[in-house]
Structure 1
Amino acid sequence: MALLDTFIVNVAAPDLRADLHASGAGLQLVIAGYTIAYAVLLITGARLGALLGHSRVFLAGLALFIAASLACGLATGTGQLIAFRLAQGTGGAAMLPQVLSLIQRTFTGQARGRALGAYAAVLGVGAAAGQLLGGVLVSADLFGWGWRPVFLINVPVGVVLLALGPWLMGARGEARGGADERRALDLPGLALLGAVLLLFTVPVVLGRERGWPLWAWAALALCAVLVPVFGRYQVLLARRGGRPLISPLVLRAPGVTLAVVRIFCMMAVNSGFVLVVMLHLQTGLRKSALLAGFSMVPTAVLFAVVGTNWRRLPQSWHPRLSSAGFLIAAASFGWLGALLSDGGDGGAWLYVCQAASGIGMSLAYNPVLSRALASVRQSEAADASGLLVTTAQLGLLSGVALFGAVFLETAERTVPSAATSAHALTVTCAALVTGSLIGAAAGPFNGLARRARGLPHDR
């Protein structure tokens, strides 16, 4: 459900925008608001699980997520919807880290690998459900509610999970931390991270429509100043024996730094790709929400299939799979831009292209995630889980803000038409190719940096 709600709104975006008379910036904030709260609070959510018990925090987060989903479905204005999406993201931030923490604490060896494979498959299923279910619900227009069922669908599903959760999770998630865990809630770090994200997101999303006023540039400049302040604070806190949000011990584990860079890049291009394809198909080509959602199914299904089967490939290939995945993704984005550049819908080739992107993004993501989590000590499991899931959400947030701004800025320069939208998609696909190539280059760059410091190379 947490991942589904990241993607399902993309399908409903055009209907939501028309019904609530939302601006382009308002629409981006509806999508990004969920991810802002989610990203800021994930590490704190992981530590609350270690302190209070993973199942307790999971169920509390689930209850908040259900209530916020209901409120989103009943919202009557863009401002309300943005506020309720922030609450929904807070619930998701309490739920999701408990999953990876429990995998780390419950499984070892090959069993952990299988559990992580199942986790990756669920990511793919969640993304697929977000695209397809969103299309079905919007096209069906249940009870004349339009886009609202994309949020309300969480309520009955969540209530069932809330009832079954205590029985399914049992005592495994009830361990509580002591005084050390109570001191581990880095509230100043949380405030700094939240400020950095807001100072980045708000001007990127709102600045374009406001003509890039002075306050937007001032916010971005302040964000650039606070990033090293946050980093320095985290280092000093660790030296004093505290528990910073981003633990240096976790970052020093083999493969974790590379995983942070590559997961960020993959999630950024993924979220930007999904958003602009949905906007192009529905607003540019006037396709139905159902057809637009269905077009993304090959991407999500192949992501899940590859995520559960990449370990079957020869072991000697594994260190290079992530780089290969980014290159496949880059090729698929370039192909997509060329395929739809003439204002057509691409026909059957669109689905082939979407499948290739799913293969590429899964290979880019899953091997680095598995390697990073396998290298982290169990005592650092909550921090590693929070860090990597936070990185993923920061990538999603940045992708929506940056690639969404590229598409909307290009599309709205002239009179809206299929040709204008196709041109905007082509420009955005070029930006997606660049993002993918940065992810591919991260491996060799990381290897050079580690060799310069006399450390083993994490490919």
Structure 2
Amino acid sequence: MLSHVSPEPSTTISPRRRTLAMAVLIGASFMDLFDVTIMQVALPSIRNDLHADAAQLEWIIAGYMLAFASMLITGGRLGDAIGRRRAFLIGVAGFTLASLAGACSPDADLLIVARVAQGLFAAVMVPQGLSTLQALYRPRERARVYGMFGAISGMAAVAGPILGGVLVSGDVAGLGWRSVLLINVPVGIVLLVLGRAYIPDTRDTEPADRDLIAVALSAGGVVAVLYPIVEGHTLGWPAWSWAVMAGGVVLLALFVVRQRAVARAGRAPLLPGRLFANRGFSVGLVVQTVFQGSMNIVTLTLMLYVQSTLGYSALKAGMTILAFALGAFAGFAIAGPFARFGRHLMFVGALLQSTGTFVTLLIVLHEGAALTPWDIVAPLAVMGAGLSMLVMPLVEVALALVPVRWAGAASGVFATFQQLGAAVGIAVAGTTYFAVLGTDLAVPHAAHAFAVTAALGAAGYLIAAFASLALPNREQVLAHEEAVRAAIEAEEEGLSAI
């Protein structure tokens, strides 16, 4: 049946406009991921300036992630319903204003509120990127576009601590940590102007029902699952945290039941259940979640160790992972010509990340208090190169077999699992590191705590490596693209014959 297949918008806009639209959408994704990682090196400065306690510092990071993850599915479908350009502009405008409000916060509580607002508007902004790109480009063109999207996303994750260290330590105009939020304001204004000018308006031809109950179930379920993960280790994992998590699972199960009922009634659900029947998409979610969790475990624990134990400044801590960023840049150049190998390139990339992590923890154990950034340049560079090899093909392979009409929902789910992985990674990092560290703050004991925690990240990368082998191979992706192309041509011929 071909009634749902339609020629893609890429046939009606100029290549120049399409390229500029892609740049704006990728820029917004960069701003989001960059904003998550840049805050990590700013926390000590925020603690000193706003007299924030440990719980408040944790919520400055976690509040953003919880708000973001809870509304991503809804944000993706909102773009399908009201138009992706409109939703994108609303998200960028709100994110920019929330960044300004956060930079002006007089205390930690108001900063947390601003970070939650950032997360909510980011949940509207970010899903429009992948869904619009999927609607703008034909299947055979998406490998290059998704590769660029993944590459930029990876660079944002490693660039955040570096630029954050420069801004905080440089104390630009006496702004200190506030500069890491203010930097979003000019970037957001540029994205608004260019987005309005160049992003074409696309939307789902079968928009989901405006089901507020489904929205509440999905958002409540995600928050109920993530909140105990983020807070549990700080509170000692009380019984209520497990009860809340179980309740979240129940809410998500009810959400699935309701979505199936909506589909049986012939209406468009908020989240098409058939998405998860797509093996490539489901396996891609596993790889995305485990990879994001592992990366956050390793990077956050490394930042904790060098700043809290070795006394590195924000700048020196950020520069410590410069080799990671340089390795990622080199990896993008190397991986580009080999992107066609898809899952096999991802397998190699995840193995490199695991190997680099393992070597790093061995060096930290050996060097102890004498550790310098130069000691871990090589393994961090290997980890960066592995990052590039993993993320460049990931989006394309995971979304390759997803119908365009579900682009918004798929993008929202994919980004939700990205945040889920990050939240779990941060929780695992904090729980494991401080549990092993205990009250003995001596360097050898802290190095041991880092090694144990980083080993979990290395194991996670191995899981991602072997899971990636279950993704669709190149022949399956090409066969799907050919089937879509044939369906479009057949429909066009049918229309011309009328």
Question: Same fold by TM-score, threshold 0.5 exceeded?
Answer: yes
Residue of structure 2 in register with 1:210 after alignment: 235
Larger displacement relative to structure 2 (286-295 or 208-217): 208-217
Shift of 1:264: 0.7
What is the TM-score when the length of structure 2 is the normalising length?
A: 0.81
Which segments of 5 or more consecutive residues in structure 1 lack a partner in the other structure?
A: 448-459
Residue of structure 2 in register with 1:294 after alignment: 319
CA contact (8 A) 2:102 2:114 kept: yes
Question: C-alpha distance in 2, partners of 1:282/1:232?
Answer: 47
Shift of 1:90: 1.2
CA contact (8 A) 1:204 1:405 kept: no
Residue of structure 2 in register with 1:439 after alignment: 464
For 1:26-425, what aligned pairs fall within 5 Å after superposition?
Answer: 26-169=56-199, 172=200, 174-176=201-203, 180-181=206-207, 183=209, 185-307=210-332, 309-313=334-338, 317-341=341-365, 342-411=368-437, 413-425=438-450
Shift of 1:324: 2.5
Shift of 1:321: 2.3
CA contact (8 A) 2:204 2:406 kept: no
CA contact (8 A) 2:293 2:426 kept: yes
1:439 partner amino acid: A
Question: C-alpha distance in 2, partners of 1:6/1:250?
Answer: 28
Q: Percent identity?
A: 35
Shift of 1:446: 7.7
Question: C-alpha distance in 1, partners of 2:241/2:48?
Answer: 27
Shift of 1:371: 1.3
Is the alpha carbon distance of 1:211 and 1:117 closer, same or farther for their aligned partners in structure 2, counting shifts above 3 Å? Answer: closer
CA contact (8 A) 2:339 2:393 kept: no
Is the alpha carbon distance of 1:132 and 1:424 closer, same or farther for their aligned partners in structure 2, counting shifts above 3 Å? Answer: same
Shift of 1:258: 0.9
Residue of structure 2 in register with 1:454 after alignment: none
Shift of 1:89: 0.8
1:75 partner amino acid: S
Residue of structure 2 in register with 1:13 after alignment: 43
Q: Could you report, residue by residue, the CA deviation over 1:230-262 in whole angstroms, capped at 9, with x for unpaired residues?
A: 444444443333444442222233511110100
CA RMSD in angstroms, aligned pairs only: 2.5
CA contact (8 A) 1:72 1:151 kept: yes
Is the alpha carbon distance of 1:314 and 1:14 closer, same or farther for their aligned partners in structure 2, counting shifts above 3 Å? Answer: closer
Q: Could you report, residue by residue, the CA deviation over 1:364-385 in whole angstroms, capped at 9, with x for unpaired residues?
A: 3332321122222222222222
Question: C-alpha distance in 2, partners of 1:18/1:417?
Answer: 23
Shift of 1:69: 0.5
Q: Could you report, residue by residue, the CA deviation over 1:57-112 in whole angstroms, capped at 9, with x for unpaired residues?
A: 11111110011101111223332222211100111111111111121111114432
Q: Secondary structure at the match of 1:241?
A: coil
1:427 partner amino acid: V
Residue of structure 1 in register with 2:9 after alignment: none
Larger displacement relative to structure 2 (156-165 or 37-46): 156-165
Shift of 1:326: 2.1
2:351 partner amino acid: L
Shift of 1:279: 1.6
CA contact (8 A) 1:322 1:364 kept: yes
CA contact (8 A) 1:266 1:365 kept: no
Shift of 1:199: 2.4
Residue of structure 2 in register with 1:451 after alignment: none
Larger displacement relative to structure 2 (62-71 or 364-373): 364-373
Larger displacement relative to structure 2 (237-246 or 335-344): 237-246
Question: C-alpha distance in 2, partners of 1:314/1:154?
Answer: 32
Larger displacement relative to structure 2 (200-209 or 88-97): 200-209
Shift of 1:47: 1.8
CA contact (8 A) 2:283 2:470 kept: no
Shift of 1:214: 3.0
Question: C-alpha distance in 2, partners of 1:401/1:394?
Answer: 11
Larger displacement relative to structure 2 (12-21 or 228-237): 228-237
Which segments of 5 or more consecutive residues in structure 2 lack a partner in the other structure?
A: 1-30, 473-498
Question: C-alpha distance in 2, partners of 1:424/1:215?
Answer: 28
Question: C-alpha distance in 1, partners of 2:405/2:302?
Answer: 41
Is the alpha carbon distance of 1:314 and 1:112 closer, same or farther for their aligned partners in structure 2, counting shifts above 3 Å? Answer: closer
Asked which structure has the greater CA Rg, the reply is: 2
Q: Could you report, residue by residue, the CA deviation over 1:256-303 in whole angstroms, capped at 9, with x for unpaired residues?
A: 111010011111111222222112111111112112112223323433
1:332 partner amino acid: G
Q: How many residues align?
A: 440
1:59 partner amino acid: L
Is the alpha carbon distance of 1:142 and 1:119 closer, same or farther for their aligned partners in structure 2, counting shifts above 3 Å? Answer: same
Shift of 1:307: 4.4
Is the alpha carbon distance of 1:414 and 1:56 closer, same or farther for their aligned partners in structure 2, counting shifts above 3 Å? Answer: same
1:193 partner amino acid: S
Shift of 1:428: 0.8
CA contact (8 A) 2:346 2:390 kept: yes
CA contact (8 A) 2:296 2:426 kept: yes
Larger displacement relative to structure 2 (96-105 or 289-298): 289-298
Question: C-alpha distance in 2, partners of 1:160/1:207?
Answer: 40
Q: Secondary structure at the match of 2:371?
A: coil
Shift of 1:314: 8.3
Question: C-alpha distance in 1, partners of 2:55/2:222?
Answer: 16
Question: C-alpha distance in 2, partners of 1:177/1:121?
Answer: 27
Larger displacement relative to structure 2 (228-237 or 360-369): 228-237
Question: C-alpha distance in 2, partners of 1:255/1:177?
Answer: 22
Shift of 1:223: 3.2
